[in-house]
Amino acid sequence: MALNLQGKKAIVAEVNEAANGALSAVVADSRGVTVGAITALRKEARANGVWMKVVRNTLAKRALEGTDFECLSDSFVGPSLIAFSSEHPGAAARIFSDFAKKNEKFELKTAAFEGNVVDAAMLATLPTYDEAVARLMSAMKEASAGKLCKTIEAVRVQKEEQAA
């Protein structure tokens, strides 16, 4: 479908706006994936605060100029699907990784976080906010239980010394 200049400017502005409000970005190649599968992916992405769009490479490069995701410019070769995570840095990478496991034709190209190209698999394994809080609470709970055990042991040793 041919786009006029206004249409191209609108796409560049839309992608640029999404990039400026995003925490991370992921670029993938969706050649050979069925429309139904991509529709399901879009639905899951929307539910997790991920903005995604198939964008022409030249328009994507222009849209990312001056943003934290300018480092992704080299990855725009062939058909590209770009996704921006606005709520959690690993959301788009996690969704795309899970989708790639189910659809072998779907290929993750690259990911970016805080202006640097990063491994998409690493980004996908980042814990969510709730998971990180749960891990922290678990560690704090274990530490306090350890202190309690040490205190009880110290009291026991002290009583044994007094008894002797």
Residues 93, 49, single domain; the answer is: yes
- 51 band by pLDDT with thresholds 50, 70 and 90: very high
pLDDT of 23 reads 87
> pLDDT tens digits, residue range 15-48?
888 888 888 899 999 888 889 999 999 999 999 8
> pLDDT tens digits, residue range 99-132?
999 988 888 888 888 888 888 777 777 777 777 7
- 155 band by pLDDT with thresholds 50, 70 and 90: confident
Residues 6+ apart with CB under 8 A from 20: 67
Domain boundaries, position 135: 128-164
CATH number, domain containing residue 13? 3.30.70.1730
Decide: 116 and 110 in contact? Cβ < 8 Å: no
Number of structural domains found in the chain: 2
SS3 assignment, position 127: coil
DSSP annotation of 23: S
**What does the alpha-carbon distance between residue 118 and residue 68 come to, in Å, rounded to a whole number?**
13
Q: Which of 87, 57, 60, 69 is nearest to 20 (CA)?
A: 69
Query: Model-level pTM greater than 0.85?
Result: no
Question: In the 3-class helix/strand/coil scheme, how is 48-104 assigned residue by residue?
Answer: CCEEEEECCHHHHHHHHCCCCCHHHHHHCCCCCEEEEECCCCCHHHHHHHHHHHHCC
pLDDT of 26 reads 92
- 143 band by pLDDT with thresholds 50, 70 and 90: low
User: Which structure tokens are listed for 21?
Assistant: 């409000």
Rounded average pLDDT over 129-138? 78
CA geometry: angle 53, 54, 58, nearest 5 deg: 115
Residues 77, 138, single domain; the answer is: no
**What does the alpha-carbon distance between residue 121 and residue 34 come to, in Å, rounded to a whole number?**
23
SS3 assignment, position 164: coil
Residues 118, 132, single domain; the answer is: no
Q: Is the pLDDT of residue 139 over 70?
A: yes
pLDDT of 83 reads 92
pLDDT of 145 reads 66
pLDDT of 43 reads 94
Residues 52, 82, single domain; the answer is: yes
> pLDDT tens digits, residue range 61-85?
888 888 888 888 888 888 889 999 8
